[in-house]
Chain A
């Protein structure tokens, strides 16, 4: 069964994903492609961070099946307090940023950076305006 995985800015389709109720099992290869998390001896690692798999969750997070190692991404999200939502009919999963991550980003009052395009397709990054004062205005047509 296939699943579409939206992981923050990343988007990937896994042809072999195995969604089982509240679980989303991915091969370790698809895990890296979809999320950049990688299984290592020290735990689940991304960039310079590793999260050890706790013993009491090992069975619900990792399993060997059909000659491959599988990782339960939904269980991992619950463990690290990451919000996620999924649509069963479409097999689409969205994993977002945790409230702690957002809180600590704002607490410093450093303006969170982002890059978006204007209608001509030109990219603009907020931090490119460092050194000048910026009035950041959010608006909408609705």
Chain B
């Protein structure tokens, strides 16, 4: 496991989760969303399987392996997905959960021109926010959202740094109702004998 927290708010936002996970694997902080850009993700969660040679053999799974309830602090485990990972660990490339290269690429998707331009606005917004330039940051985030409405990372992160109604003139309900899918389908084969 290698966990990356995509969180511009940084330590204060992610520390309770990381402390609760008490993990033995690397758990790093990515305030600028660098990894999301590299892996072309548009929302969290997103899980990638990387084999011993450093090749992606399954990509962009919208699942949490474990999930901590914000209110109760209770942690639940996604057993079906954990079983799939165990199968891959045991069987490697022969695992039914490993996807063919063209299928893996299809699931990850192609970075488009608008994506790169939107990322430039988002990244500048993060910098301005870190400099305490709230208004200027919001202006950049809005440009990122307009260029790439399907990037929920850009939206949810910006809303999290400010006030969705005051700063962006919308509500979470409205914003989620615009018909752009939040997540790709998981497309996990049924385990044999299920």
Using a CB–CB distance below 8 Å, which chain A residues touch chain B?
6, 83-87, 89-90, 92-99, 102-103, 105-107, 109-112, 114, 116-119, 124, 126-127, 129-142
Decide yes or no: A107 and B29 within 8 Å by CB, A85-B143, A133-B50, A140-B7 being known contacts. Answer: no
In contact, A105 and B38 (Cβ under 8 angstroms):
yes
Return the chain B residue nearest A102 by Cβ.
B111
Q: Min CB distance, A128 to chain B, in Å?
A: 9
Q: Is B182 an interface position by the 8 A CB rule?
A: no
Return the chain A residue nearest B131 by Cβ.
A90
In contact, A138 and B88 (Cβ under 8 angstroms):
no
Q: In the complex, what distance in Å separates the CA atom of A87 from the CA atom of B129?
A: 12
Q: Which residues of chain B in 89-140 are interfacial with respect to chain A, using CB atoms and an 8 Å cutoff?
A: 89, 92, 101, 104-105, 108, 110-113, 115-117, 119-121, 123-124, 127-128, 131, 133, 136, 139-140
Segment with Cβ contacts to A, from B40-48, B173-181, B184-192: B40-48
13 A-B pairs (CB sep. < 8 Å):
A86-B124, A94-B124, A106-B105, A110-B56, A111-B50, A111-B56, A112-B39, A134-B1, A134-B50, A136-B2, A138-B46, A139-B3, A140-B14
In contact, B4 and A138 (Cβ under 8 angstroms):
yes
Using a CB–CB distance below 8 Å, which chain B residues touch chain A?
1-7, 9, 11, 13-15, 17-18, 26-30, 34-41, 44-57, 64-65, 85, 88-89, 92, 101, 104-105, 108, 110-113, 115-117, 119-121, 123-124, 127-128, 131, 133, 136, 139-140, 143, 153, 156-157, 159-160
Using A112-B38, A136-B49, A142-B13 as known contacts, list a sample of 15 further A-B pairs with CB atoms less than 8 Å apart, ordered by residue number in A. Answer: A83-B119, A94-B123, A102-B38, A102-B115, A110-B55, A111-B55, A118-B26, A131-B52, A132-B52, A133-B50, A135-B50, A136-B2, A139-B17, A139-B64, A141-B7
In contact, A90 and B6 (Cβ under 8 angstroms):
no
Q: In the complex, what distance in Å separates the CA atom of A130 from the CA atom of B108?
A: 21
Q: In the complex, what distance in Å separates the CA atom of A92 from the CA atom of B57?
A: 39
Residues of A within 8 A of B36 (CB): 138
Q: Min CB distance, A59 to chain B, in Å?
A: 26
Q: In the complex, what distance in Å separates the CA atom of A106 from the CA atom of B116?
A: 14
Q: Min CB distance, B111 to chain A, in Å?
A: 4
Return the chain A residue nearest B60 by Cβ.
A138
Decide yes or no: A92 and B128 within 8 Å by CB, A126-B2, A133-B49, A137-B1 being known contacts. Answer: yes
Q: In the complex, what distance in Å separates the CA atom of A137 from the CA atom of B117?
A: 25
Decide yes or no: A85 and B124 within 8 Å by CB, A136-B4, A140-B7, A141-B13 being known contacts. Answer: yes
